Structure formats: C-alpha cells, structure tokens
Structure 1
Amino acid sequence: MRRGRTEAGRCFDHQLRTVHEKKVPLSGYFALYSSHLSQINRSHAMTTKRRLITDSYRVVKKERRGGKRERSPTPPPTPEQIENEARQVDLEKLKQFDLDWRFGPCTGISRLQRWDRANLHGLNPPEEIKELLLQTPHDAEYNLSLWRDYPL
C-alpha cells in the first residue's frame, strides 16, 4: 500500500481492480471515476475552511480622539434666513414668469408693464405675480426682468 493515500484513494484503487478483473466496459470506468471525484469533493469540502483575506491580518481599530461627539441639534432658522428663503421663492416665481413666452416678450419693459400688457390682450397672467410686484414697487430685483442687464 502506498504511503499518504487517503481512505477515498484506497477505496478507489480497490474498486478499480475489481472492475478490471471483471472486464467491465469503458463506461463502467467513467462511472467509477466520476463517483470517486464526487467523494473527493465532498471530503475536501468538509475539511477545508474558506477563509477571507482579512482573516490573515489582525484588525486594529483606531480610537477616536476626544471620544464620541454628540451632535448638537440644528438651531431654528433666524428670521433673516426665513425672509431670505421666502425672497428666493418669490424671485424664482418671477423668473418663471419671465421665461414664459405665452405672455409676450419681456425685454425693455418692467414685469408689471408686461403683466398689464398680457392682461390687456386676454392672456390671463397669474394674479400671484401682480400681487408680488405690487408688494415691492421699489425693488429692482422684483420689478425688472431677467434681461435687465443685457442691452437691446
């Protein structure tokens, strides 16, 4: 008997000699060999443990400086921030009014003049835009269109 053979290997040798003595056709050899391979795979799967590459190295966790920090709650918005956000929303609505070509061209005239012209021609401009424009009659950012800085 050879040294270092496994039990499955010794069993295979015995079966192979038995098949050879009985003069079994070639298909019998293939069946015997495939069953031998499945035995080896099963025994190999039970003995080996799949390992990750991280299993080979020791994990070192760094400590945080100062320990855990507690998050402070966000402060409530100040009145200035609320007013600024409302202003940005209003300016966005006015910008959309400028970009809407259903109400005619907007170059060379104020937004209120454009709104009045669209209303005169029956184009039904939004009332909300007129209210915004009447609330701030002296603010150029509200009254003049997007194209105010570009020459005609």
Structure 2
Amino acid sequence: MYAKNKTITSSFKKVKQSTSYVKTPSEKRHSPQPSSSNAEENEMKMLKDFDLNWEYGPSMGISRLERWNRAEKHGLNPAPEVKQLLITHAEDERYTQCLWNDYKNIM
C-alpha cells in the first residue's frame, strides 16, 4: 500500500511557515492598550487575597477596613496598600465589603 520510507504525511504538500510576523499598519492601530479595567482587576485581586488570608482573622460581618484596622491593632501588619485602596474607594461596596458579603443572605 505505502512505499518504503513514506509516511502518511508525505503525501501532503510541504508549506514553509514564516518564522517572523510583522504587524500591518491597521493591526498596529488596533492593538489593545492597557486599560483601567486591568488596574481594577489587580486591585480586586489584592482585596481578594486580603480576604482569603486567615492570618487577619474572620471577615464575615465586618467591612474590609474594620478587618484591616483590627489586624493592625493586633500587630499583624496588613499591607498598607490595602488600606489606601479601601480609603480611596470608600463609597464603592465592591471595595469595602469582603468577598463573602454576598453569601451572608444565603444562610
């Protein structure tokens, strides 16, 4: 059926792939720019990490800032960046309330 030294792929035409890719001018114009949503994602990740760090005690029933202050009071040295973020976004519940806040109404 197949001749010696032939593989199933040897019947397909070989096409050399280019090793470099150069963006066209239209692609350069439409390349994504860093956005504020990326900064917000980083901030939310920092707050989530704070919520999930049990070193600072339980987080249910108190705001993130109250938890941060409690941890500071007990000498646990929470990240000052978290406090600054909480103060900066004091009116936004996504920032002020812990990750578990939405689950308190389930129980």
Q: Tell me the residue number matched to 1:43.
A: none
Question: 1: distance between equivalents of 2:5 and 2:32?
Answer: 52
> 1:74-127: CA deviations, max 9, x gaps?
5241xxx51000000000000000000111100011000000111111111111
Gaps of 5+ in 1: 1-48, 62-69
Matched position secondary structure for 1:146: coil
Alignment pair present for 1:52 and 2:6: yes
Alignment pair present for 1:111 and 2:67: no
CA 1:99/1:60 → structure 2, altered by over 3 Å: closer, same or farther? closer
Matched position secondary structure for 1:107: coil
Gaps of 5+ in 2: 15-22
Task: Write out aligned runs for 1:92-131 (5 A).
Answer: 92-131=45-84
Question: 1: distance between equivalents of 2:99 and 2:13?
Answer: 58
Question: 1: distance between equivalents of 2:75 and 2:96?
Answer: 22
Matched position secondary structure for 2:39: helix
Q: Tell me the residue number matched to 2:31.
A: 75
Q: Tell me the residue number matched to 2:99.
A: 146
Alignment pair present for 1:84 and 2:37: yes
CA 1:60/1:125 → structure 2, altered by over 3 Å: closer, same or farther? closer
Relative contact order (alpha carbons < 8 A, sep ≥ 6): 1 or 2 greater? Answer: 2
Q: Tell me the residue number matched to 1:66.
A: none
Shift of 1:50: 4.4
Q: Aligned pairs, how many?
A: 91
Question: 1: distance between equivalents of 2:54 and 2:47?
Answer: 13
- Percent of matched pairs sharing the same residue: 40
| Structure with the greater alpha carbon radius of gyration | 1
Greater helix share, 1 or 2? 1
User: Deviation above 4 Å: which 4+ runs of structure 1?
Assistant: none
